[in-house]
Amino acid sequence: MENIKFLNPLKVNKTIDIVYLMCPMHIVSIKKALKELKEGEILEVLSDFSHALEDIPNWCKMSGHEFLGIIEGDDYLKFYIRKSQVDSFNDLS
């Protein structure tokens, strides 16, 4: 979890609520949402899945997207991802 950065609120281009989703659906939902964004745009992901603290930053690193950090909410975490030009895992659905 050394990749975790706590942020102040930032401007996002899209928000997805994946509260109650677990592996692998949380990553599948993120990948689908990122396909709808342009390079450089920011996705906000709302999740309460405890493993997301490791899964989302690690997936970003493997797929080439930039993990910006998180904001802690009352009932969930907000994860922020900047879409990169190339998705290293573009063969996954």
pLDDT tens for 2-16 read 556 666 678 999 999
pLDDT of residue 4: 62
Does 93 score more than 50 pLDDT?
Answer: no
23 is catalytic: yes
* Positive or negative torsion for Cα 51, 2, 57, 61: negative
CB 45 within 8 A of CB 78: yes
- The Cα–Cα gap between 84 and 76 comes to 25
Catalytic: which of 7, 10, 23, 25? Answer: 23
* Percent of the chain topping pLDDT 70: 83
